[in-house]
Structure formats: C-alpha cells, structure tokens
Structure 1
Amino acid sequence: MKIISFLDRLTTPANLTIKDGITYWQEKILLNLFLIIAGLGLITYIPSFALSIKEELWIVAIIDTFMYLFILFLFFKPNLSYTFRAASIPLISYLLGMVLIITLGPFGAGPVWLFFFPVITGVLLGYKMAFWALIINALTIISLGFLISFNLTDLLVSLNFKVWYLSSDNPLEKWIVVSLNFMLLNIIATLSVTTILNGLQRSMMAVTRSKKKYHRIFENILDVYFETSMDGIILEISPSIERISQYSQNELRGKSFFTIYKDTNHRDETLKRLIKTGFLKDHEIRLINKDGTIHFCSVNARPLKGKDGKPEKIIGIFRDISNQKKMEKEKKNLEERLNRSQKMETLGLLAGGVAHDLNNILSGIVTYPELLAMNLDKDDPLKKSLGIIQSSGYRAAEIVQDLLTLSRRGVITREVLNLNDLVSNFLLTPEYKKILSFHPNIFVEKQIDAATPFLKGSSVHLQKTLMNLISNAAEAQPDGGIIRIKTQNRLLNNPIKGYDQVEAGNYVVLSVKDNGIGIDPEDLKRIFEPFFTKKIMGRSGTGLGMSVVWGTVQDHEGYIDIISNADKGTTFDLYFPITTDEALTPEKPFSLDACKGNGEKILIIDDVDAQRRIAGVTLEKLGYKTVSVSNGKEAIKYLKGNDADLLLLDMIMEPGIDGFETYKRILDFNPKQKAIIVSGYSQTRQVEKTLRLGAGYYLKKPYTIEEIGIAVKNELLKTEK
C-alpha cells in the first residue's frame, strides 16, 4: 500500500486539482506514461540495445538510448511546458515505429508504434492534433509504398538498414491492402478515443459551469436552501441562514435542525404531514436565532427518495416572513384603529346632534332661574328653589357637555395649563373625596415628576378625564388597593405603538395605574364606546366616562396608550404635546354692573322662539334694547332698513340659510357689522369660518348672565379697525 501511495503521489499533478477537469487527467496520464516508460521501458531497452549492437545497428542503439534518457529527463522535469512534454510521447512513438518498420518489417513492432502514435496524440493533445497525426501516418504509409513500388528500398542499404520485402510476389498490391486495413483501424481507434475524450471534456465543462452556477445561486440566494436527514440532522444549508439565525453554515452542518427550530413539539406532526402528502407548501414555522429572537418562516419542502424507493433525506427552501407578519399585524392594528375612530366619529355625530337640541332646552332651565332670582329679596324662600332648579340644569348641562366631548366638540377654550398643578388641585376637590368615600380601601399615591408640565387645553375637561380614570381604577379594585398617579416628560424620537400609535414628539404624560382585575383584550377594543360597560348601568355614572377620556385626549391632540394584564392591573398613559406658550393672566372677578349696557340695540337671530325670548329678557335685564327675528333672511331684510349695534347670531337655523351665510350676506352691504355667535354645538368649522369673517366671540348654549354679559360688553367695546 505504501508503494502504491508513493507511486500515486509521483503521478499526481502538482499545480492542478480534479476541479480542473480534463486538463488534470491529461497531466496525470502523461505522468503515468513517463513512469511506466521509465520503469517498464528499461526491460524493453536492454535487450533491444544488446540486439542492435550484435547486429551492428548503431543508429538504432543510439536512438533507443537517446529516447530512453529523454523520457527520464521529461519525467523529472514536470515544470517544463505541458505541450512540449505531451508532444514528446507521440513523436517518440512515431520515430520508433518508423525505425522498427524499416529495420524489422511489418512483422515487427513498428506498426504497433505507428498505430499508438495518433491515439496517444488524441489523448494528450486533443482531437485536432490527432487528426494531423493520422495525416502523418497516412503520408508515411504512402511514402513506404512509393519506395516499394519503385524499388527504392535499396537506397536504404547505404544507411546500413537491412531492407525488407512484403513478399516476393506483388509487393505493392499487398502493401496497399495491409496499409488500408491498418489505416482504417487506426482511424477508428483514434476517432473513438478522441470522441470519448472530447465528449468527456465537454460534459465536464458543462458540469463545471452548472456547478459554478449552482454554487453562485447557493451562495447568494436570499431564501435558505437546506438538506436534512429524516431524523433532522442538517446535511447542507445555504449561507443565507446566517442572516436569519446568526449561525454560520459550518456551525449548523451535522447538527440537529432543532438547534434553530422553535416549535420542537410540532416536529413529528410536520414530518408525518410531509411523508403523507409528499410535500410541504407555505408551511409556517418559527426559527430562533442565537440571541433568542423569533423569526417566522414559510417552508416548502419534499422528501428525496433513495434507490429502494424509501425517503432518505429532506430537501427544501424556507423564507423569512417576519416582516410580512409584522406588516400584517400592523395593517390589522391600523384597520382596528380606523374602525374604532370611524365608530367614535359616527357616535360623536349622533351625540353632537342630541347635545345641540338638549342645550336649547336647557337654556331656559339655566338662565331663567338666575333672571328670576335677581328680582327676589335675599331671604326669599323661592330663591333657594330657583337655585336648585338652576343647579339641576347645570348638572344636566354637564352630561350634555360629556356628549359634546364625545363628539370632539367639547373643548371651547384653550389656555396654558400646568399638569402638575392640575393633578394636585384635583386631589383637593369634592369630586375626588366623593370617589374615595365610595371606596374606603383605596389609597392614592401621587408622583409629580414632569419638569416641563405645560400643555394647552381645558382644565375642566382634563380634570374630568382624571376623575373618570381614578373612578375606573378604584372600581377595578373592589377589595381595595393602590392607585398611582404620575406626571412625567417623555421625548420620543421615533413613534411607539400602543393602543394608539404615539408619534414622535415632546410630551407631558399623565399616568393612572391600578393593580386591579385588568381589562379583557376584547373589551379593550370597545372600552371608549359610549355606554359600553361591565358595570351595572345607573350605579356608576352615565356610561360616558371613558368616552369623555377619549374625546378629551383627541381634542387636545394627544394620544392614549393602555397596558393591561389580567389580575395585574391596568395603566393608562395620556400623552399631551408640551406647549411653549406663556400662561394667561387670570381674569378679574365678574361684576354685573360692569356688563350693563347703555341702551345699545342688539338683533337676536334664532330659529327657536324660546331661545329668542331667553336672550331678549337677559339682555334687556342688562340694559340693552333687543329686536328678534326667526331666520337669516328676516335679519338681512331688517338690517337693510334698520341699524343694530350687535348681532346675536345662532349658527344652525332650519330651514333656510345658516349663521355663516347670513353674516356673510350682511357684510356685503354692512362690512362693519359686529356679531356674536351662539350655538348648542361646540365650536365647528362653520363657527371658525364665521369668526374669520369678523364675528368677535363664540358663546355656547346654555349660557349664564355672566357669560353673555361679558361677551356682549367686550364686543361692543372693540375699536373698529
């Protein structure tokens, strides 16, 4: 074995590998020929040399010696050009053949060497050189025939060659027959060998190209190609696995697929399905990488059968669909948020319409008791009753205000607020104490951490929002517990995804956390819908508490995030944009005398008779003269023939033109006309458009004497521009 191994090393090309295809094998054949000739050729050389000396054939002896030494030289000089070394073998074969034919005749070894000449040329140098070798052989045979035909072989005697003859009779004809058979067989053998070698070379080149192409695909494919045994051992896997799993090819080859397969419990079920159906298509699995991150992948695979027809391994491709799953989840969340928003918008429109009508009705309940009380003595018992009526009207107006908040039309005024102060002040209010009286086992912890607590909005709505959140947190802990209220600043450089998607920005955050029963995921989707509750209706407020929270946050251009776990509690995080505006100077206390008029004429435009009477009585009580009309066209007609110092203009008047259109037409012929807008709705786009036209103030029904008095007085005192 050692000798065979040694000889194999001697005949193995030093600078080529098996990947070099036919070139490698040609070099190996050449080295084998050199080795055989150097070894076995010695056995042929010694008797041939001795015979040549005995018969005084000195040229043959010299040629044999030279050729043998030349072969040894080529064997030990592998660094010489391959073409030179390879061409030497056919050349030697040809020369030996010629010498032996001339000296020994056709019954010697000469024809064998000539036959070998084009065959070995095709093996070592290719079919083109083999073709030329055949031509040389043909010319050689023809030349010998020519010598025989013209009896020129005697000329060789002078060169000390013993001339031979094919036969004493018809030597030329017999030489032609022998030569034609020789050449036919020589051509067939040469073509067969060169065709096989040429085809083999083409096949190897095609295989090499295919292998290179496969290798490029294998190395650069984005999906992951894999081969595993039937028991899950990874036999081959593409480099793209590193992008998904952070494991390299070498780290995974020979290891179990369970190294990266997350759902090990489903392995048997998946394998049975694969064998039963013969394939897996878009089968979803989860892979886990080195740091524990989970990737969702889609697998297409099939078993590969062996010669016995039984599955011997599994081949397939899987693709990372984590981003796709993420996008599907985001799309679903967006659809849910959109549906939620559309549902709240629809409910808001309904609530806004109801609130408008209720505000018109409540105007009399809120305003008339105050007007009547002004004419009564301080100790008159009716004054107390009127106060109760008015107080009831205020409470009803608060419920209507909740409806307006739901419709996102509730925030009338915006002022700079300190969230820290707002929280601290609310914890001193009767509303807060009332909540605690219903839940004596509840304790509240306050953590004021917001260094920049300023936002722009309505303190009334924000306090009501805080009240609703605290009330819900208390009711979520029926056996008692702790409610944590916290303010803090958060700067978001990137959006965060929660119940809402909170956009990047600088926020002051109000958090209310409890350790209660948590919110069911299905209930969480509907938590802000009006009248959706798991509580007993009528016992815990109006059913609009969380709707008020949602509407208030939306009106303040903020965001809501909710974190809730069963039996671990719920946290509401309310994000409000920080404002850099300065706080407003507190207004002076109301003085009725300061709001009284001097007989200025005010035109009241309202389609509801009761509203015209309420406004008229109130304004006349304040010292103004009033005129009333029921629609916009009557107002226009009146003002074309009469003057009015101020218009008290209702926004919605049906049928006919609304307040915006009415005021616009009046300005066409009286561009300096002053006006105040009143409406049962909160501020709408029509209101904003009317204010931009020149209306000075917006007053929401039901209004108090103080509110209408201040609005009218301030508008009348404005200097015309």
Structure 2
Amino acid sequence: MSDSSTVLKYMSGEDILREADSILLFTSRSGKIITVNRQMCDILGRSAEEIVGMNWFSDLVDPESGDAASRAFSDLLTERGSGTFRQEYSILADGGSIPATFLNRVIRDEDGIVMCVMVSGHLLENPVEYPEDLVRDADLFRRIMEDSDHGTMIIGGDPPVIEYASESAGRMLGLETSVLTSMEASEVRLVFSEPSWNDLTGRMRMLDGSGDPSGTARYSMLNADGVTVRAMVSILVSEHGHHPVLQLVCTDITDTVQTIESLRESEEKYRTLVENSNDAIVIHRDGIIVFVNRTATTLTGYDRGELLGNSVLNFVSHDHEALVLRNMTNRIAGKKVPPIYDVEILRKDGEKIPVELNVSEIRFDGERSYIVLVRDLSERIQLENQFRQSQKMDAVGQLAGGVAHDFNNILQVINGYTELADAALEEDHPVREMVRQISKAGERAEELVHQLLLFSRNQVIVTSIMDLNQVISEHLKMLKRIIGENIGIILETCTDPVYVNADHSMAGQVLLNICLNARDAMPEGGRITVRTDRVYLDSEFCETNPSARPGYYGMVSIADTGHGMDEDTLSRIFEPFFSTKGITAGTGLGLSTVYGIVTQHDGLIRAESVPGEGSVFRVYLPAADRNIEIEEIPQEYEVEEAVSLTIIIAEDDDDVRNLACEVLSEAGHEVITAADGEEAVLLVTDSPDSVDLMIMDAVMPVMNGFMAAEKIREVRPEMPIIFCSGYSREKSSDALERFRENSRFLLKPYSMAQLLTAMNELFSEQH
C-alpha cells in the first residue's frame, strides 16, 4: 500500500468526505444514496439533504447509460469477494449531463453481508488518480458514518429493536450507542413519537416482501432530556446478521424545523397584522398596484382583483390626481417628496373619502416598490368639526350670556321705572298708554333675553323626575293646535316610562321649538313623527360624540317630511340669530334655545337631514334615578302686604340698586345699600340683629352673593335672603341648594310685585 493510501485509510471518515477532490458517495443495496461528499454536491448543484435518499441510478445517472450501470451494479452485488468494477457514464446536474468515470466497491461486514456500495469517481475533463487500496475494508464506511452528521440506526427483529447505532445517532439522541442497542422493544417504542413509530413498524412489516419499505420520512424522537428531535430519515432495506433490516440514516433538522416554524409564525403574525390593520396598505410598483390588504378593499369598496394591476391614479379623486402624480413621479426620480400628505380617494360607489397617505420605499418581490399606508380621516375630520363647532358655540354662548346679563340689568331699570310710572299716573292720563306700550316692549325684550340665557346655559333650571312620554302627551293638544291641520303628528312612545331628570317647562319648550321648526319646513303640509325610547349610549358612540358620556339616556326623536337642509345649513342651525326664514319671519333663537337647554341638562342633540327628504332631531337626556326626589323652587309670586323691615340691598349696578332702594323705601322699609358682597358682610357683621332681610345680586365683583351669604349665615344663621341674578351659571343651581331654608331666587328682570311677594313669603314662613 502506498504512503498516500495508508494515510487516507486511517483518516477519519469526516476528513475523507471533506478533503476528497473526487466524487465520493455511499449507496444502499437498492441504490439509495446514504451519504455524499461536498464535491458531489457542488457538481450536482444540490444540497446533501436533497441528494440523500435519492436513487443513484434512476435519479442521478443519465438514462442513456443508466440501464447498463444498473445491470453492472446488480452483478456486483451477486459476487463474493472484493466486488469492484469501473465504468464510464454521465450524471445529471443542473447544468446538464456531465460525463464521468466511476469506481464501484462493495462494502461487507464481518459476516460477508453487503452493507453498502462505495462509489468514487471523477469528471472525465479533470482526471484524478484514486487509489483502489483506499476502500479495502468495511471499517472505512463505519468511520465515515460514525463521524458524519447523519445518524445511522439499523432496526430489525419482531418486535423491532435497534441492532446498530452510529456514534452520531447517539449524539443526536444524547445516549451512548450501547444504551440504544441494549434497549428492549418497549423502550425503543418510547424513543419515537406515536406517528413516527406507526410509520416505522408499518415499513418493518413490508420486509416480508409485501411492499417496498424504503423511502424518506420525517420522524420525531425524544432525546435523553425529553426534548423532541426532528429528523429527516432516509429509510433503506438492508441485511444484518442474515435477516432483512431497515437502515435509518437520520439528519437532525430540529433547528431547521424550528426556524421554518418561527418563520411561519412570523409570517402569520405579519399577515394578521397587515390584514387586520386599521389602515389600508397598498404596495405599488411605478404606480401599478401589486398588493392590497383587506382594509383597502373595505375602504374603497373594490375587491382585490379590481385593485391589483390597476394604476393608483384610478382611485384618486380628480381634484388630487395632479398632486399624487407629481409626488409619485418625483419620488421615483429620487427627488425629495413629503412622505405624508392628505388627499381624497374615490370609492367604488363614487363617494369621496378624505385620507392620509404615508409613503415609503421598500423591496417587494425583489424589486423597488412603494408601500402606502392609507388612513381614513373621515372620523377625525368629523370630530375636529364637532370640536370646532362646540368651541364656537361655547364662545357665542359666553358672549350671549354676558350681553344678556348686562341687558337684564338695563331692563330691570327700564321695566321697574315703567312700573312705577304706570302706578303713579291716573287711569285716564294721556301718557299712561305710552307707558304701557313701553312696558309691553320691555316684556318682549325680557323674553328675548330669556332665550339668550337658555342658549348660553346660564339660566337657572329647576329639575324634577319626569316621564318623557307624559311630557309629550301633555303637549300634544297644544302642538296640534299650533302646528295646523295640514300637518299630521304621529306619536310613537316607548311602552315603558322614560324617566329623566329635567326642568318640566324647558322640556316642553324643547319639544315645541323643534316641532315649530319642522312645521316651517313643510309649508305645503306633511308629517311629524315623535318617538321616545330609553337607549344606552356606548363608548363607541361617545368616541364620535365627545359631549356624550356612556350610560342610559331618555331619547326623543322628532322627524319631519319637509324640504330638508344642506350640509352648510345643518352645521349652523344651533347658532343664535341664524335663520333661513327671512328677517321678519323669526328671531333665529328657536333651535339655539333648544341647544342651550339640552346642554344645560348634560344631554346632547343631534340633527340629520337630506335636502328634499326631511330632517330628524334626536334629543338625549340622561336617564333619571327614580330614588331621587327633587323639590321645585317656587317661582310664582303674589303681592301681600309686608311689615316695615330693615333691608340691606347688595347690587353692583347703581341703577338697579337705586331702583330697588326707591321701591322698597316707598313701601315703608328702611334700606341700606352695598355695592358688593364684601361690603354687605361688613354691614351685617357690625350690627347683625338690626338687619331683617338681605337682597343680594348673585354675581358681583370682589365677593359674589353666594359667598357673602355663607359668611352672613355664620353670623346670623336664620338670616332671610333673596338672591337675584340676570343669569346664573350651571353651578348656581347647586349653590341655591345650600340656601334652601329662608331664601328665594328672583330672575332678572323681575317686577316690583314679585320682589314684594317674595319678601312677604319669607316672613310668612317665619311667623
């Protein structure tokens, strides 16, 4: 034996496979490839995992020479002794058929049983001497198999046991080979998963000649630590100890399977995220759509087939085509383009949808493409419009409330002195009729200011628990009389009571104002449908209606069949003094008053309208707790003769203060005046027992009437107090609750008779 062959003979099998410049592979008796070296993989353009398990003659040898090679191979297996032959034939590679020369050598065990066939060779264009002495004994095959990454096991017997296990098989399972080969059949059964064991035993039964058990399979086995090992197994039929066995060549693919499963999970997560994204996702290549997610089909109304392959410009509104085209062209050309901008897209039904486009460059299917995140802005724009409208209404309300408060003080003086003048004139005095006309004008102005206060939510409300069904029924006759005979009123009330906590008169005014507005929208007649219901407004509704809070509400729906309103009109209907009826047909305060009343009750009102189809107003008032009982604050006054009293009037408006002082002085009372709450407190503190009554403006500089009243009650707990105000913000109603005993409230402008009546009532209660 030459030096080189001696060295090669005692190299490890792994080194032989790695270092050999020639083709080197081992096959089973049937020609199935057991293992292969890197040189062969490079020539064939395939991985070892792909080649192992193939049939050498039917899968890799050129068919023109395959039959001859196969016959020579069969003859080789029938010979005793060395069993060696050379032959030239072509092999099939990715590049085509490649001619080569091969040396085939049978490898036998100690008993002379054929274990496998070693095939070595070289391409004819690159001849290499390969020493025949290299493969003289079967130990070489064993060393190759021991050091290979492929674990080999021989399974035989009935019941099956492991007759042989290579070192690599032991490493794969974390067990010594001696442990594997000494296992009982019941223990071997536990190494394999149930599906793998069933497959293996099924193949074992075919060893009787009833079928071909060879092939490839994926097996799952348990290692010594109880961890599942995944293996790609080439199953070959062989002989061992003069009986047929199955030879399992196992390649550990656990990491590969885990990687594939991780990739599959990642892909599934990616697909789930993409498909369930709230944003539409569109990928285009030079403007042609190549991918869309489910949201894109929902947003546009088109199915995937209608979107894919189309230009993105086909789905952009005409007004924004130029913008999208310019940005797309500049981006493709490498110019700087804003990544995010807003446009309108066209749905399949023709509706325009405002969207935000967020564009980024990506690689998709190996080519430069652009991913576009399309966000529907409809809801955001709606919320922004609602917020702006709410801010505008609040600003207008504050302005209206301030004007109304100041105007109330002016009206208080005008109406008060008019009342005094009327009382001072003789019945037949020629000026008296003029004074009464002034008084009527003052009353109309008072009503106008009252509506402004309702809109600005600065009116004091007196609430009680009531059934909306009953409120509507009570007003039905009046509504029919006011609405007219050419308009029908349909009442559809809830079968159960709809309880709310509201001011009874204001609830009636809401119903009346909306119905009057509906009447004016139907000059030629029509139908008004009034419905009631108890509804629950969930968080989803409240997200699009910021003024709402989740919970139960009493709902009144008023629908008409009138001419309807366009979007511009609909957006302004609750503004004060806005009217479509002309200068002389209305004040423009009807619906603004409704808005103010509903908002002050912590409710909300929504209107829908389509030109030519009518309008629907829905009023939502928070449902009432039936366990709460609210006592109404008296607002009806009668004139009674009063005793002479010492009265402190705290009023910051000089004219109003002087008027009240004059009226009370003429009524025989001693009057002390204060310009603010702090001054009133000092007057009472100086002589608490000498004061019989406080008349206090609720809103004053330095110290308001309620704060002053608290300090006065500390000195004189039973002090009678009359609060007056041109308006009181929502919290004023809560403040009045603290002074329920020995107090009254007068809304400016009040008459002198109302003032005197309130005084008499207070002192009647005390005596």
With the shorter chain as reference, the TM-score category is 0.5 to 0.7
2:395 counterpart residue number:
346
2:578 counterpart residue number:
532
Cα offset, 1:482, TM superposition: 1.6
Q: What SS class does the counterpart of residue 54 from structure 2 fall into?
A: helix
1:199-252: CA deviation from partner (whole Å, max 9, x where unpaired):
xxx9x9999998777555434313369999999998xx8xx9679879xxxxx9
Instruction: Select between 224-233 and 363-372 the one with higher mean Cα deviation.
Output: 224-233
1:698 counterpart residue number:
745
Which amino acid is the alignment partner of residue 570 of structure 1?
Answer: S
Q: What SS class does the counterpart of residue 53 from structure 2 fall into?
A: helix
Aligned runs of 1:410-421 on 2, under 5 Å? 410-421=459-470
1:171 counterpart residue number:
none
Q: Residues 671 and 353 of structure 1: is their aligned pair in 2 closer, same or farther, counting only changes over 3 Å?
A: same
Aligned runs of 1:476-555 on 2, under 5 Å? 476-478=521-523, 480-492=524-536, 494-495=538-539, 496=541, 502-537=548-583, 539-555=584-600
Matched, 1:679 2:725: yes
2:72 counterpart residue number:
40
Which amino acid is the alignment partner of residue 487 of structure 2?
Answer: F
Q: What SS class does the counterpart of residue 500 from structure 2 fall into?
A: strand
Cα offset, 1:486, TM superposition: 0.7
Is this contact kept in 1: 2:515–2:528, CA < 8 A? no
What is the RMSD of the two structures over their aligned residues, measured on CA atoms? 5.8
Cα offset, 1:578, TM superposition: 2.8
Is this contact kept in 1: 2:463–2:630, CA < 8 A? no
Matched, 1:471 2:516: yes
Is this contact kept in 2: 1:405–1:552, CA < 8 A? yes
Cα offset, 1:407, TM superposition: 1.6
Q: Residues 493 and 636 of structure 1: is their aligned pair in 2 closer, same or farther, counting only changes over 3 Å?
A: closer
Gaps of 5+ in 1: 1-9, 47-60, 69-74, 95-109, 131-201, 247-251, 306-312
Cα offset, 1:357, TM superposition: 1.9
Is this contact kept in 2: 1:260–1:288, CA < 8 A? no
Cα offset, 1:116, TM superposition: 7.2
Which amino acid is the alignment partner of residue 526 of structure 2?
Answer: I
2:613 counterpart residue number:
568
CA distance in 2, matches of 1:372, 1:227: 83
More helix by share: 1
1:552-588: CA deviation from partner (whole Å, max 9, x where unpaired):
1101111111111122121111111232255869979
Aligned runs of 1:57-206 on 2, under 5 Å? 62-63=80-81, 88-90=116-118, 113-114=132-133, 125=144
Q: Residues 398 and 417 of structure 1: is their aligned pair in 2 closer, same or farther, counting only changes over 3 Å?
A: farther
User: Given the alignment, which residue of 23, 27, 44 partners 2:49?
Assistant: 23
Cα offset, 1:409, TM superposition: 0.7
Q: What SS class does the counterpart of residue 715 from structure 1 fall into?
A: helix
Cα offset, 1:592, TM superposition: 2.9
1:109-141: CA deviation from partner (whole Å, max 9, x where unpaired):
x975336789x97999489679xxxxxxxxxxx
Q: Residues 320 and 44 of structure 1: is their aligned pair in 2 closer, same or farther, counting only changes over 3 Å?
A: same
User: Given the alignment, which residue of 618, 635, 638 partners 2:680?
Assistant: 635
Is this contact kept in 1: 2:576–2:592, CA < 8 A? yes
Q: What SS class does the counterpart of residue 52 from structure 2 fall into?
A: helix
Q: What SS class does the counterpart of residue 538 from structure 2 fall into?
A: coil
Is this contact kept in 2: 1:601–1:625, CA < 8 A? yes
Q: Residues 128 and 113 of structure 1: is their aligned pair in 2 closer, same or farther, counting only changes over 3 Å?
A: same
Which amino acid is the alignment partner of residue 71 of structure 2?
Answer: G
Which amino acid is the alignment partner of residue 508 of structure 2?
Answer: Q
Matched, 1:220 2:269: yes
Q: Residues 423 and 485 of structure 1: is their aligned pair in 2 closer, same or farther, counting only changes over 3 Å?
A: farther
Is this contact kept in 1: 2:33–2:52, CA < 8 A? no
Aligned runs of 1:189-588 on 2, under 5 Å? 215-221=264-270, 222-223=273-274, 256=305, 258=307, 265-266=314-315, 324-325=375-376, 328-368=377-417, 388-429=437-478, 436=484, 442-450=486-494, 451-478=496-523, 480-492=524-536, 494-495=538-539, 496=541, 502-537=548-583, 539-579=584-624, 580=626, 581=628
CA distance in 2, matches of 1:380, 1:227: 90
CA distance in 2, matches of 1:674, 1:262: 81
Cα offset, 1:41, TM superposition: 4.4
Gaps of 5+ in 2: 1-29, 35-43, 87-103, 122-128, 150-250, 276-280
Cα offset, 1:414, TM superposition: 2.1
Is this contact kept in 1: 2:313–2:325, CA < 8 A? no
Is this contact kept in 2: 1:244–1:320, CA < 8 A? no
Q: What SS class does the counterpart of residue 446 from structure 1 fall into?
A: strand
CA distance in 1, matches of 2:729, 2:327: 64
Which amino acid is the alignment partner of residue 594 of structure 2?
Answer: V
Please say which structure displays the higher CA radius of gyration: 1
Is this contact kept in 1: 2:560–2:614, CA < 8 A? yes
Tell me the number of residue pairs that the alignment of Structure 1 and Structure 2 aligns.
Answer: 560
Which amino acid is the alignment partner of residue 595 of structure 2?
Answer: W
Q: What SS class does the counterpart of residue 526 from structure 2 fall into?
A: strand
More strand by share: 2
Is this contact kept in 1: 2:489–2:527, CA < 8 A? yes
Q: Residues 88 and 673 of structure 1: is their aligned pair in 2 closer, same or farther, counting only changes over 3 Å?
A: same
1:611 counterpart residue number:
656
Instruction: Select between 26-35 and 448-457 the one with higher mean Cα deviation.
Output: 26-35
User: Given the alignment, which residue of 659, 663, 679 partners 2:709?
Assistant: 663
Instruction: Select between 372-381 and 393-402 the one with higher mean Cα deviation.
Output: 372-381
Which amino acid is the alignment partner of residue 133 of structure 2?
Answer: L
CA distance in 1, matches of 2:420, 2:466: 33
2:158 counterpart residue number:
none
Is this contact kept in 1: 2:465–2:500, CA < 8 A? yes
Is this contact kept in 1: 2:695–2:724, CA < 8 A? yes
Q: What SS class does the counterpart of residue 534 from structure 2 fall into?
A: strand
1:58 counterpart residue number:
none
Is this contact kept in 2: 1:511–1:574, CA < 8 A? yes
CA distance in 1, matches of 2:635, 2:451: 28
Which amino acid is the alignment partner of residue 223 of structure 1?
Answer: V
2:124 counterpart residue number:
none
Q: Residues 409 and 454 of structure 1: is their aligned pair in 2 closer, same or farther, counting only changes over 3 Å?
A: same
Cα offset, 1:601, TM superposition: 2.5
Is this contact kept in 2: 1:30–1:86, CA < 8 A? no
Is this contact kept in 2: 1:444–1:484, CA < 8 A? yes
Which amino acid is the alignment partner of residue 423 of structure 1?
Answer: I
Identity across the alignment (%): 23
Is this contact kept in 2: 1:646–1:716, CA < 8 A? no
TM-score normalised according to structure 1 size: 0.61
Q: Residues 244 and 696 of structure 1: is their aligned pair in 2 closer, same or farther, counting only changes over 3 Å?
A: same
